[in-house]
Amino acid sequence: MAGNTVHNQTLWWQQGVIYQIYPRSFQDTNGDGIGDLAGIIDHLDYLTWLGVDAIWLSPVYPSPMVDFGYDIANFTDIDPLFGDLATIDKLVQQAHQRNLKVIMDYVPNHTSDQHPWFLESRASRTNPKRDWYVWKDARPDGSPPNNWLGSWGGSAWEWDATTHQYYLHSYHKTMPDLNWRNPAVKEAMFDVVRFWLDRGVDGLRIDSAQRIMKDPQFRDNPPNPDPKARANVYKSLGDYDLQLHIHDRAHPDIHAVYRELRQLLDAYSVQSPRVALGEIHIFDWPLWATYYGTQLDELHMPLNFGLVGTPWKASAVRQVVDAVEAALLPGAWPNYVLSNHDEPRVATRIGPKQARVAIMLLLTLRGTPTLYYSDEIGMHDVEIPPDRILDPWEKSRPGLGLGRDPERTPMQWDATPNAGFCPPSIEPWLPIANDYKQVNVAAQRANPRSMLSLTHALLKIRHASPALSIGTYASIPDVPDDCFVYLRQFNEQSYLIALNFSSKEQQIRLLEMGTGRIRLSTHLDRKGMVDLGSFGLREDEGCVVEMGEMVP
Q: What strands, in cross-sheet order, belong to the sheet with 157-160? A: 135-136, 165-168, 157-160
φ and ψ at residue 64, rounded to 5 degrees: -70, -10
User: For the CA atoms of 192, 193, 196, 201, what is the dihedral angle to 10 degrees?
Assistant: 160
What letters, b where the CB count within 10 A reaches 16 and e where it falls short, cover 442-459?
ebbbeeeebbbbbbbbbb
Do the Cβ atoms of 521 and 499 come closer than 8 Å?
Answer: no
Contact residues for 70 (Cβ-Cβ < 8 A; gap 6+): 59, 63, 107, 171, 175, 207
Is 279 annotated as catalytic?
Answer: yes
Do the Cβ atoms of 431 and 409 come closer than 8 Å?
Answer: yes
Entry field: residues in the chain: 552
**Nearest in space to 498 (alpha carbons), one of 205, 409, 516:** 516
d(CA 1, CA 325): 7
- CA distance readout (Å), 221 to 157, 214, 215, 287, 475: 14, 11, 10, 19, 39
Is 207 annotated as catalytic?
Answer: yes
DSSP string, 106-175: E--SB--TTSHHHHHHTT-TTSTTGGGB-EEPPPTTS--SS--B-TTSSBSEEEETTTTEEEE-SS-TTS
Q: What angle do CA 266, 272, 277 make, to 5 degrees?
A: 55
Identify the active-site residue in 36, 105, 207, 541.
Answer: 207
- CA distance readout (Å), 308 to 229, 360, 370: 16, 15, 12
Identify the active-site residue in 279, 343, 376, 405.
Answer: 279
| Residues labelled catalytic | 207, 279
